[in-house]
Structure 1
Amino acid sequence: MPLLGYVVVFFLFCCSYALNLTALFLPKWLTHIIPKPFYSETNYGLFKQCQSLTGDCQPFPRVANDDCKEEGFCELWRAAGAGMILGAVVGTLTIVALLGVMCSHREKRERGWKLVSGLFTYVLLLAVPSIISFSIIAYLYNTSSIFYSGTKYDQSFIMNSVSWCLSTILSLSMLLASFIGNPDYHYYERLD
């Protein structure tokens, strides 16, 4: 695979990874807005809840606030956060592997094709925890009484969905390229 192919894969993966990290840390998975008479906005993140009226953020979910009174709510919410953290760790390892192959000289890049074509598994491992987190938040949004009328999906939820869609497409493209591509090293013969 030429260096340009590695650069394209690296750029697309970095875009997906940046969206994943932003969704992980930005506390805007769900938002509840009260427009009248006094504007108030409550943002729910994976780890904290922020109120616009007071301007402060608190850990979320908390037993002290009765966030965990519904059976399984806290466990599922924490599982969504853990899934996003797992995806971030796998993403970091994938970036290191891609940089290692890209920064090496041509002969190593040609041998690195096996590694990169196998990286579709790692890219998919970034997508799977994100899909699980996405599904958990969507499930809780639709079933929990904590998120009452007026609550809607927000920026982090959308970034997460774009991230796992991009990762899935990239992973499938890399898998397809490994099957139909003809890496140069298969046909390379050394002349002495």
Structure 2
Amino acid sequence: MAMTLTAILRPNWVSFHVDFPPQSSSAIISRSLGLHQSCTSDAYQTTCRPFPTESDCAREGSFCAMWRTVGWLMSLATIMELATLVGIVVILSGGKARREAGWRVLAGLLAVVGLVLFSGMAVVAYLFDNHNRFAIPGWRLDTSWVLCTVSGTIVVLSAVGVAISAYVLPPEDGYELLPDQPGV
């Protein structure tokens, strides 16, 4: 969840960096795009602005829709990761029956979170490979994209591990559930 939040908040999904000679200190040195802002750096300062703006969308309609979809997917993944953490607490604090049944549900929820994270990552990779905005050499997928990929991988591996443990590990021993008997 920390990696997902960092990926959302840092404006480093795709970046452009050029090393200019020191004489040209007024030239743009780097530009990075985040889900919600774009930052431009020169030799003296970094300035950030909201991204994509309406003017960006007027020129590149499909890009904006897809970029905003990634922001929505990442927000959804964060909410689902929070729900997963709550689920873990509920399962661990519950009784034997809740633990035995809960791990299967948790594995499914983790798999869906991984699917959402990989979907967002894939849309950015698709835009990077196919959109004219990134046709100039020097653009690269940056740290937020990598964080999203690593986060998705960890979530999917966790889902696989939880699913395997839910089906392979023996049930808890110690007591059995008593059937509900009215009047006893």
Give the structure-1-normalised TM-score. 0.80
Q: Secondary structure at the match of 2:46?
A: coil
Structure whose CA Rg is larger: 2
Aligned to 1:99: 89
Letter of the aligned partner of 1:142 in structure 2? D
Q: Write the distance in 2 (CA, Å) between the matches of 1:33 and 1:69.
A: 23
- Counterparts of 1:67 and 1:36, CA distance in 2: 30
* Displacement of 1:134: 0.5
Q: Are 1:152 and 2:140 counterparts? A: yes
How far did residue 70 of structure 1 move? 3.0
Q: CA deviation at 1:67?
A: 4.9
Match status 1:183 vs 2:171? yes
Corresponding position of 1:123: 110
* Equivalent position of 1:89 in the other structure: 79
- Give the number of the structure with larger relative contact order, counting CA–CA contacts within 8 Å between residues 6 or more apart: 1
> Aligned ranges for residues 155-170 of structure 1 at < 5 Å?
155-170=143-158
Identity across matched positions, percent: 25
Query: In structure 2, the residue corresponding to 1:182 is in which secondary structure?
Result: coil
Structure 1, gaps ≥5 residues long? 1-16
Q: Unpaired segments of 5 or more residues in structure 2?
A: 179-184
Q: Which runs of at least 4 in structure 1 moved beyond 6 Å after TM superposition?
A: none
Kindly provide the amino acid, as one letter, of the partner of residue 94 in structure 1. Answer: T
User: How far did 1:190 drift?
Assistant: 7.0
Q: Distance in 2 between matches of 1:127 and 1:23?
A: 15
Deviations 1:51-77 (A, max 9, x none): 12242211111222x355234110000
| Alignment partners' CA distance in 1, 2:155 and 2:107 | 9
Match of 2:19 in 1: 35
1:77 to 59, 67, 81: 67
Residues matched between the structures, number: 170
SS state at 1:56 partner? strand
Distance 1:113 1:189, change over 3 A: closer
